[in-house]
Amino acid sequence: MVMYGVTDQLTLMGMATCQSMTMEMVMNMGAGNTAAAPMRTSGFGDTELRGIYAINRHLTASLGNNTKVSGWLQRAFGPAGGWLRLAFNDTGRIHGRDPEIRKLLDATTGAPTPDADPGNYGGQRLDGFIGASYARGAFSFGVEGGMPLFQDVNGLQLVNDWYLSAGFQMMF
């Protein structure tokens, strides 16, 4: 992640993610036969470009089809710090249809797949986190782990089990 403070109120941010996901897929092979196959993927995820604007001391705003609210309690212990955080995310549904994706959903012209259905996107989630950081001079390292406390996804989607993030920062 790279952040740049343009002014005291406006910050620009760019972020890339590296992900690793695993899912057990159970397939109906007909005549009562089923097969289980693990599916895995890993690599870089979506790149996020964002502008963050400080409305006042306690409230910031940012653009997109989702609403995120985050609150935390933090305590410093000399150069180290620890925190508890709650984060709520409400992602809106996809509106409109892409004619090329619509072909995938038609049983006569394509092979229907749940990931091509725009009804299987969005939902609400409340996550809980615990984290710690250590700073020395212009450098800091932090780690945060969490898990969903509430999930309500639209349609057929994978739900999240847990989160882990670590970061290294250099301030200048």
Q: Are residues 120 and 152 in the same domain?
A: yes
Q: Does residue 29 sit within a domain?
A: no
Q: Are residues 74 and 58 in the same domain?
A: no
Residue 29's pLDDT band, with cuts at 50, 70 and 90, is low
Q: Is the predicted pLDDT of residue 146 greater than 90, yes or no?
A: yes
| Domain interval for residue 59 | 1-22+34-63
Q: Are residues 168 and 155 in the same domain?
A: yes
Q: What value does the mean pLDDT take over residues 120-143?
A: 95
Cα Rg of the chain (Å, integer): 20
Q: Are residues 151 and 73 in the same domain?
A: yes
Predicted confidence (pLDDT) per residue in 89-115, tens digit: 998 887 777 777 777 777 776 666 777
Q: Does residue 11 sit within a domain?
A: yes
Q: Is the predicted pLDDT of residue 88 greater than 70, yes or no?
A: yes
Q: Does residue 80 sit within a domain?
A: yes
Q: Does residue 55 sit within a domain?
A: yes
Q: Is the predicted pLDDT of residue 139 greater than 90, yes or no?
A: yes
Q: What is the pLDDT of residue 65?
A: 66
Count of CB atoms situated within 10 Å of the CB of 89: 16
Count of CB atoms situated within 10 Å of the CB of 146: 19
Task: Report the alpha-carbon distance of residue 20 to residue 39 in Å, rounded.
Answer: 11
Q: What value does the mean pLDDT take over residues 12-16?
A: 88
Q: Does residue 39 sit within a domain?
A: yes
Q: Are residues 94 and 39 in the same domain?
A: no
Q: Does residue 89 sit within a domain?
A: yes
pTM over 0.85: no
Domain count, the chain: 2
Task: Report the alpha-carbon distance of residue 37 to residue 35 in Å, rounded.
Answer: 7
Task: Report the alpha-carbon distance of residue 29 to residue 36 in Å, rounded.
Answer: 10
Q: Does residue 123 sit within a domain?
A: yes
Q: Are residues 106 and 70 in the same domain?
A: yes
Task: Report the alpha-carbon distance of residue 122 to residue 118 in Å, rounded.
Answer: 9
Q: Are residues 147 and 112 in the same domain?
A: yes
Residue 66's pLDDT band, with cuts at 50, 70 and 90, is confident
Q: What is the pLDDT of residue 80?
A: 97
Q: Are residues 170 and 111 in the same domain?
A: yes
Q: Are residues 53 and 127 in the same domain?
A: no
Task: Report the alpha-carbon distance of residue 127 to residue 87 in Å, rounded.
Answer: 5
Q: What value does the mean pLDDT take over residues 122-151?
A: 97
Token pair recorded at residue 116: 């091509």
Q: What value does the mean pLDDT take over residues 142-155?
A: 96
Q: What is the pLDDT of residue 164?
A: 95
Q: Are residues 79 and 142 in the same domain?
A: yes
Predicted confidence (pLDDT) per residue in 30-45, tens digit: 677 777 778 788 888 7
Q: Does residue 28 sit within a domain?
A: no
